[in-house]
Structure 1
Amino acid sequence: MRHVSAGSGNRTETMLSVSDLSLELATYDGTVQVLDNINLAVGRRETIGVVGETGCGKSVLAKSVLDLLPRAIARYRRGSIRWKGENLLSATRKRLRQVRGTEIGMVFQDPMTFFDPLYTAGSYMMEAIGHRERVKGDGGSRARRKAEAIDLLGRLGLTEPDRVFDSYPHQLSGGMRQRVLIAAAIAGSPELIIADEPTTALDVTVQAQILHLLKEIVETRDTSILLISHDLGVIASMCERIVVMYAGTIVETGTKRQLLSRPAHPYTIGLISAVPRLGYPQKQVKGIAGHIPNLLNPPPGCRFAPRCHKATALCRKVKPELATFSGGRQVACHHPEPFE
């Protein structure tokens, strides 16, 4: 399978392809329509950003790729998640265990709460390396695994990596924990890393260090990254292609240059307007009025219509399709802003 990167003109091998994915979650209150007709692709050595407000379905999409949602409540109504052509939605549990960590790694949200306080950082590293060895059949001694783990922690910028290896979570700062999470994710030598809000709760200095580290991983390890964030600034600093999600749907996709210079969807425009800017005269930050709709009963038509100043009767009745334009730009809006 091949994929043409939007706006690049270069042919890039598609590693991950999500097609027409629709997901419901069964809850005590009813069925939540979490994802609706999601389409995206990640090529080799690409960093693709998924951005949107909290609650728009970004993390659910990330967990769906590795089948990390509870099977008792997750119902995929249609679509596929293909990893190098293989549909992971129909893969066996054994096959999924092989993919997790060794082919697709995951950096989970919020390093302050992810770790079990009873286990050291080194135990997570040893588990990740051991899993890779079991899957690939290249087992080694415990001493060799420990040496590899300490070396990896050191290469990720942690001073005194041997001390970090033996430390418990409460003995590490937020930035150190996040580096350990990233180290565990790449210890399996994955071809794709899904980074779910990797800079949440970190100060701006540590955030910049983590983003620089992720860029180095792409450049030196031939790795792709699917970066998920509510922070458009983080996405813009890392990604060449951006996917904008709202209430479980994709409303706009394109290159960073396309979306930031000429946004077409009112929601994308709202996200950009909400980013603070330095300068004189200072520009007022504009928020987006209203709230994400309740997905137990999403509005008919466009899900953004109740918050959109351009909404018409057509928007409130008919769901807009994600149309493709020149340069690979995609927009799901009945009344987009001119951009061509």
Structure 2
Amino acid sequence: MNWKLWIKGLRPKTLPASVVPVLVGAASAWRGLRQSTVCPDIYPVPRSCITALNIYHDAVSRFAAVLLACAMLALFLQIAVNFANDYSDGIRGTDASRSIDEAEGGKPERLVASGVRPVNVLAAAGVNAAIACIFGMGVVLLSEQYLLLPVGAACLLAAWFYTGGKHPYGYMGLGELFVFLCFGCVATLGTQYALAGRVDLFGGIGALCTGLLSCVMLMVNNLRDVQDDAASGKRTLAVRLGRRRAEMLLFAVLAVPAMILLIAGLLALYANAARLWPAALLSVWCLRFLWSVAVAVRERRFAAALPLSSMALLTYGAAHIAAMLLSV
């Protein structure tokens, strides 16, 4: 078995998109739990504070277990999506031009296009999806947030129908929308809800930024493959818009987290929050990566743009986490 090829099939550069939103949601949940336990120094202690403290202690006792389950769920679901996409694109012939080595052609190898039996790739997708389901049930049972069960089922269906089925939405230009929903809203806010039982503004900001930065990774891929996708009938958003307008949309998407980071930094300076300086430094580092992604896309250096977009997501996650932990 060609293990090197199978490792490439995992698409390691895309995996941060699964874990970072979970950690952002967890940090937002932790801040919310800590804030809810701030009570006035009076006696008798108000009933609302006793209730908040009980919720806090109950949540903290299972925080690590729920967080680990959320992270593993997201990671294995992402791996399952990658294998499922490889299978579906491979049997359709969309990946026919990707059987060459990345170092030679600038495009990553795909398993089915490289000669791996499609049934083996489909089995790998199924095994990873099953593992994700096990961790998903763990999240629901540990958190006792049963509303997350249908949400998880919807994400599992979205994972398959991205490129699978008779009418895959990834072939209709809707891939970015579902990436934003699944890797932004569900991963971040779902984690926060599982850990704290509610969502807040900071979780919403984290969901917006992680969702958009995850979309950037997909948009970079689609811009790289726009000619091949158009020839094979894969009508991605980049194909529908055309290269120039797709690039402009990508720059606009990059601008949103950049503006949020700048505004957050200015507010921290105004409040003289010196303890937030690590978050500020990470924000500056993230802005640097966002700019580098824009430059690489403009120069059509997509092999460099993809890891840069992954680093932008990682550094944004680190900045958000640092801000949440240091602000309470």
TM-score of Structure 1 vs Structure 2, range by shorter chain: under 0.3
TM-score with structure 2 length normalisation?
0.27
Query: Which has a greater percent of helix?
Result: 2
